[in-house]
Structure 1
Amino acid sequence: MRGYLVVIFLSSIFLYYLLHCILWRTNDYGVSPLDLIKTNKSNIQYCKKKPPFISLLRFPRFYPFLCAGDFEKSTYAYSSRNFALPYGTKISGGFFRAVLSLLPSCDVFDEFDKVPCKKCVVVGNGGVLKNKTLGAKIDSYDVIIRMNNGPVLGHEEEVGRRTTFRLFYPESVFSDPTQNDPNTTAVLIAFKPQDLRWLIEILTGSKIATDGFWKQPALNLIYNRSQIRILDPYITREAAYHFLHFPKVFPKDQKPKHPTTGIIAITMAFHICSEVHLAGFKYNFLSPNSPLHYYGNATMALMKQNAYHNVAAEQLFLTNIIKKKMVINLTQD
């Protein structure tokens, strides 16, 4: 009798494994059916040629934005429901569902965009962009990714005119309507529940609660609903744990470190582009009085005071992917 039970048990395991392989069979990129469903829905045309950074990615075709229609399925499939913000949806699922219900689209590219092999540039806000006159070069890319409130107006010769995606959080988003570009997709990186609540209040015209922010968030949004997307926390989690190798639990005497918006932008680019170039990601720590950004008067000394980022780890990561030619650095001296 015991022998029969062992046979039944082993047969069940084999059948489960067989069904798992059939139902979750992957292609040569290692992509599950869930990835394909999401990408087909949003009309992403992937390049058949594998990009040089493909080995870095656990899910090479991971869809970068959250969608109302498959929120539950995607957060379960990629374990996001097991992590609290900023790297998951645990506890904050209600906020995510509420804000996604207010957004009419989660598409990455326009439905008429049929270009399969996207050549992208991620434009950092570093002072290294000063006097490089890379504007025309940057504008020549298929996709231009910028972050936070790095301005374009008045700096076109250095950083170009076009913006495809701009990643932001409530404390860093533009509030000046002159900075709006109707062709830009604005991507919210949620670091805390208040970020999602803030967007809900802005979109519904409610009174904006400003508690819980490290500085006052924008009180108005220059982008309309159709321009806004919510970045899947998995992208930030991948940047933190896989690229920068941050610990999942920091010692009690240390403030938790999180990836900068720039590293998160590069991570997103790896999932939607076939070629990624960088500009404006070099920091000159040997000269504390050198400009931190290509705009404004902030100096490198300010970056050294930041307790929430591990700039050394980020520079090591950038040096590694540049050295291995996974990306091209346009501002490499």
Structure 2
Amino acid sequence: MKSTRSFTFLICSIMVLIFLYYSSGRLHLRSPVQKSQADLDRLLSAGRVVASGRGLPITLLLSLVHRPLELQYKYGNLSKGECKPGYAEAKMTSIYPKFSKPAPMFLDPNFKRLSNISSYLPPFGVRTQENIIDHILQATKRYSLGSELDSISCKKCIIIGNGGILFNKSLGSQIDQYDVVVRLNEAPVAGFEKDVGSKTTMRITYPEGAIQKPERYEKSSLFVLSAFKLVDFKWLRLMVFKEKLRSMEGFWKSVARVVPREPEDIRILNPYFIQEAAFKFIGLPHNNGFMGRGNIPTLGTVAITMALHNCDEVAVAGFGYDMNTPHAPLHYYEKLMMSAIKESWTHNISKEKEFLQKLVKVGVIQDLTNGI
């Protein structure tokens, strides 16, 4: 009987807290939510007092209750398909409370101010590469998406993976409706427009993954380097200044010898996204900040991390490998089968998949091909 009264008291207390919070006037149907962290902390502190001695995770319960309602009130009046300002950030902070949106997409001449990358070597930072990066940035002269995209107050972005799951899905027209379309490495567009669309805002790659045939490059997209090794910056400098690559030393396979883009169309991805994805989100081994076994996120997850900081809504397509179907196509553009995948020395695919599944489950990202 005593336990029943305690439980009833607890439930009543929770309901009172929720009622007081949502009747306080902080949420309005027709205006964005402006709730400070201090307000939330006070509410959660009150919850801890109520739950004291009863062993229930009241703070977790309250956070699960208030967040969906908050988002419902904030975005409930928007038309279907209308961009939701700050949506990805709001969702991310519900599972990663310390997530902070401000993180520049590309390095600019003031990159040395970014303390979180200054003390790490590539791929997690820029240490020892400052001079060569300065040289590259002096030539490129541009460090953003461009004035047209920069002026959009609410951006919808999509990351296109290279998975065979994209084949025959006819998502091309839907993909092209996004403000920012990100493609990875050498995945082709020509001939596959029905499934993958024809729009490319940027192509993120590294030397070994870059398109090697100049005629296959899009004529109006950004070429974005995601550097994983010291030699990657040296390679980019040669590409920017149209100089000849004389040695393949330091690369693990053949690399592009020419990037047919003008310097103003070339960017360097902020390495913080590699660092954050690896150590904060996926939980890969730190290895004293050096590249090691199983502590490098895939380029797809790096691109998603970048988008979470710079876009209001984030979607993906072409992600996910189903190892239970060994004869399924590995990539949408070739006949290589799923069975060709071998254990990766640098990536931890299973842990990375858990992270991406969490993002989809909570609604941080939308998976158009349902492969994650």
Q: TM-score range by the shorter chain?
A: 0.7 to 0.9
- Kept in 2, the 8 Å contact 1:175–1:222? The answer is no
Match of 1:257 in 2: 295
1:95 to 108, 132, 138: 132
- Kept in 2, the 8 Å contact 1:53–1:270? The answer is no
Letter in structure 2 aligned against 1:178: E
1:212 to 241, 250, 266: 250
Residues 29, 141 of structure 1: alpha-carbon distance in 2 compared, 3 angstrom cutoff: farther
SS of the aligned residue for 2:208 comes to coil
| CA RMSD across the alignment | 2.3
Q: Is it true that 1:307 corresponds to 2:348 in the alignment?
A: no
Deviation at 1:111, TM superposition (A): 4.7
Match of 2:235 in 1: 198
Of the structure 1 ranges 289-298 and 47-56, higher mean CA displacement relative to structure 2 is found in 47-56
Q: Equivalents in 2 of 1:54, 1:305: separation in Å?
A: 30
Q: Equivalents in 2 of 1:279, 1:114: separation in Å?
A: 26
Deviation at 1:102, TM superposition (A): 2.0
Match of 2:325 in 1: 287
Q: Is it true that 1:230 corresponds to 2:271 in the alignment?
A: no
Deviation at 1:47, TM superposition (A): 7.4
- Kept in 2, the 8 Å contact 1:29–1:60? The answer is no
Q: Deviations over 1:48-107 (max 9, x none)?
A: 544343414633121111001x12222x3xx21111110011122222222222212111
Q: Structure 2, unaligned stretches of length 5 or more?
A: 1-33, 38-82
Q: Equivalents in 2 of 1:225, 1:192: separation in Å?
A: 21
SS of the aligned residue for 2:165 comes to helix
Residue pairs, 1:1-333, within 5 angstroms? 49-51=86-88, 52-55=90-93, 56=96, 58-68=99-109, 70-74=110-114, 76=115, 79-111=116-148, 113-208=150-245, 209-249=247-287, 255-332=293-370
Q: Equivalents in 2 of 1:93, 1:116: separation in Å?
A: 32
Letter in structure 2 aligned against 1:134: L
Q: Equivalents in 2 of 1:50, 1:266: separation in Å?
A: 15
Q: Equivalents in 1 of 2:112, 2:219: separation in Å?
A: 31
SS of the aligned residue for 1:263 comes to helix
Q: Deviations over 1:288-318 (max 9, x none)?
A: 2221110112222232332221111121111
- Kept in 2, the 8 Å contact 1:176–1:222? The answer is no
- Kept in 2, the 8 Å contact 1:104–1:226? The answer is yes
Deviation at 1:223, TM superposition (A): 1.8
- Kept in 1, the 8 Å contact 2:158–2:317? The answer is yes
Give percent identity, aligned residues only. 34
Q: Equivalents in 2 of 1:223, 1:143: separation in Å?
A: 19
Residues 213, 234 of structure 1: alpha-carbon distance in 2 compared, 3 angstrom cutoff: same
Q: Equivalents in 2 of 1:158, 1:117: separation in Å?
A: 26
Q: Equivalents in 1 of 2:359, 2:149: separation in Å?
A: 32
Residues 64, 157 of structure 1: alpha-carbon distance in 2 compared, 3 angstrom cutoff: same
Structure with greater proportional helix content = 2
Q: TM-score, normalized by length of structure 1? A: 0.80
SS of the aligned residue for 1:102 comes to helix
Letter in structure 1 aligned against 2:262: N
Deviation at 1:183, TM superposition (A): 2.4
- Kept in 2, the 8 Å contact 1:65–1:230? The answer is yes
Residues 86, 49 of structure 1: alpha-carbon distance in 2 compared, 3 angstrom cutoff: closer
Letter in structure 1 aligned against 2:362: K
- Kept in 2, the 8 Å contact 1:47–1:116? The answer is no
Count of residues in Structure 1 that have an aligned counterpart in Structure 2: 286
Letter in structure 2 aligned against 1:94: N
Residues 170, 319 of structure 1: alpha-carbon distance in 2 compared, 3 angstrom cutoff: same
Letter in structure 2 aligned against 1:71: F
SS of the aligned residue for 2:209 comes to coil
SS of the aligned residue for 1:266 comes to helix
SS of the aligned residue for 1:166 comes to strand
Match of 1:19 in 2: none
Q: TM-score, normalized by length of structure 2? A: 0.72
Of the structure 1 ranges 172-181 and 195-204, higher mean CA displacement relative to structure 2 is found in 172-181
Q: Equivalents in 2 of 1:318, 1:324: separation in Å?
A: 10
